Every structure is written in C-alpha cells, then in structure tokens.
C-alpha cells in the first residue's frame, strides 16, 4: 500500500527487539527489510536513536540513505518534519506509533491526520495510521476506582486529556466505569469523526500465554484496501502473536 512512499515510526526502538526472550527484528528493521518504502523517518529518544543509527549502519548499510533517524520527542519532531515538508504529499505514507505507555499525544495524531487531508481516496489518501493503544498497562491504570476530589486536576487526568485529545473524549466513559474496549472504540470513533478517516478499527491483542487482554491495535485509513489489513490483525490475534512486532501488509515473514 505504501509502495514508494514514506514510513514513519514514531517510537522506532533500537533496531532489534527482545520479544519473550528472543532477539527479533524491531519495527524499523522490519520496515527496512520489507523494501516497501522509499524513505523511512525513524523517531527515537536520543540514546536509543544513536543505537538505532548504529544498527542501521552496521546491518542495513545499503538502506541507510533511505533512513532518517530523528532523535528526540516524536510529539515535537513529527509535526516539525511535516511542517518542513519532509514527507511527500503525493505519495502514500504509513505511520506506526508504538509507544511504551502514554507517550503518544493526540496532537501528534492530529498533525499526521491533517497533513495529507483533502485528497480523493483511494488515489490520494491521508497518512495511514497503526497505533498501539495501551489500555491495560497504561491508560486504565490512570483511572482510580474511587477518585478523590482532586482527581480532575491531577497529573493522571491531564495525561489522559493529552492522550485522548480532550476531557470530553474520556470523562463520560470514566464516569460510567467503562471497560478498556470502549476507550479504544472512542479513540477510533474520534479518528473517523474528528479527523476524517474513512475507517478506523480496533483489534484487541491478548497475552499469548495468559490470554489476558493487553492492548488494542488501532488502524485508521481511508484507503479501500484497508480491509485487507484487518485480516492481518485478526490473524495476528488468532495466532496470539501479540508480542511479535508485525507490520501489516508489507510482506514481513
Ligand atoms: C514499545 S518501544 C518501541 C519498539 C519498537 N517499535 C520496536 O519494534 O523495536 C517504545 C520506544 O519508544 C521510545 N520513546 C519513548 N518516548 C518517546 C518519544 N516521546 N519520542 C520518541 N520515542 C520515544 C522508547 O525509547 C522505546 O524505544
């Protein structure tokens, strides 16, 4: 889908990932190996960015000229790079956003969603999004069962505002003691209704051993072929590959 286009990895890692004790290619390595992208913008915090740049230099020398490692907070750097025109608007763009917990700000998603807005799908599509929405290990833990009177002005509530985009994006769900799936559903709904994506879907990802829900993968696209990607998501869940880093639709083994 993104052939000849740009790959954005907001939380790119160091090139390799330790998955259940096994050393496997991380998302940036998979994107490079797929050869699906003309250019790759790889965002990471400075220390890990250095390790990633070294990894690429040592293991993917030929691809190094296609890769731009961007050290720093992706919430600042992605909008700056979009503003600077680093991503061609006339080519597909695919963004994989895989934070550890609550690092992805809604404003960053807005910047990506608006960047290529206004085209005529399927020829001209918005930036396609794959977002790891960290419900169980992060967001739900910021919502106490019995909140004190200061909770609405607490750092936890402010973090939820930043991640969800606004107080009204989550407060009613919290008041209703909603489960994690409804927060993921709300996020997807806002991708469609507020940011204009043709379709946004959520896929619950389970722990392969305990089968306990871990997080949701959220996919937003206005490309007709997006449904194909949802089959990928279903397969990924059915095979319980929850911890494996898999990039849909780009021929990763
Ligand atoms: C879950 S890991 C991503 C793993 C990666 N996708 C892979 O396959 O190896 C999250 C990464 O995001 C980085 N990170 C955390 N906050 C960040 C931020 N604000 N901007 C960019 N990267 C960040 C962390 O250093 C960590 O390597």
**pLDDT for the residue numbered 228:** 56
Nearest atom, ligand 1, residue 17 CA: 9
The mean pLDDT value for 194-219 works out to: 91
Cα distance between residue 54 and residue 13, in whole Å: 12
Tokens 């790759």 locate to 40
User: What are the two backbone dihedrals, phi and then psi, of residue 171, each rounded to the nearest 5 degrees?
Assistant: -60, -40
The mean pLDDT value for 157-166 works out to: 98
The mean pLDDT value for 187-191 works out to: 96
The mean pLDDT value for 4-32 works out to: 92
Q: What is the mean pLDDT of the chain?
A: 88
Cα distance between residue 101 and residue 80, in whole Å: 23
Domains of the chain: 5-135+179-238 (3.40.50.150)
pLDDT tens figures, 59-115: 999 999 999 999 999 999 999 999 999 999 999 999 999 999 999 999 999 999 999
Q: How confident is the model at residue 225 (pLDDT cuts 50, 70, 90)?
A: low
Protein residues with CB under 6 Å of any ligand 1 atom:
11-13, 17, 26-27, 43-45, 48, 73-75, 98-100, 103, 245
pLDDT of 251 higher than 70: no
Residue of 100, 138, 244 with the most ligand 1 atoms within 8 Å of its CB, for mutation: 100
Share of the chain above pLDDT 70, in %: 87
Q: Whose CA is nearest to atom 27 of ligand 1?
A: 13
Nearest atom, ligand 1, residue 30 CA: 8
Q: How confident is the model at residue 132 (pLDDT cuts 50, 70, 90)?
A: very high
Cα distance between residue 249 and residue 226, in whole Å: 9
**Considering only CA atoms, which of 59, 11, 54 is closest in space to residue 32?**
59
């Amino acid at each position: 889908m993104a052939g000849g286009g740009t790959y954005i990895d907001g939380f790119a890692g160091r090139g390799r990932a330790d998955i259940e004790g096994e050393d496997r290619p991380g998302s940036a390595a998979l994107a490079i190996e797929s050869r699906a992208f003309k250019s790759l913008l790889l965002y990471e915090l400075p220390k890990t960015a250095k390790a990633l740049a070294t990894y690429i230099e040592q293991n993917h020398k030929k691809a190094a000229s296609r890769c731009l490692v961007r050290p720093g907070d992706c919430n600042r750097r992605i909008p700056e790079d979009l503003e600077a025109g680093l991503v061609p608007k006339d080519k597909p763009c695919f963004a994989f956003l895989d934070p550890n917990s609550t690092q992805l700000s809604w404003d960053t998603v807005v910047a990506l969603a608006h960047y290529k807005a206004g085209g005529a799908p399927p020829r001209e599509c918005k930036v396609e999004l794959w977002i790891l929405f960290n419900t169980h290990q992060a967001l739900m833990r910021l919502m106490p069962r019995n909140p004190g009177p200061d909770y609405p002005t607490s750092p936890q509530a402010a973090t939820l505002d930043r991640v969800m985009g606004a107080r009204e994006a989550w407060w009613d769900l919290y008041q209703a003691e909603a489960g994690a799936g409804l927060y993921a559903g709300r996020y997807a709904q806002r991708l469609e209704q507020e940011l204009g994506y043709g379709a946004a879907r959520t896929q619950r990802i389970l722990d392969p051993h305990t089968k306990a829900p871990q997080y949701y993968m959220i996919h937003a696209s206005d490309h007709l072929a997006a449904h194909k990607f949802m089959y990928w998501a279903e397969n990924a869940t059915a095979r319980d590959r929850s911890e494996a880093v898999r990039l849909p639709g780009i021929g990763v083994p």
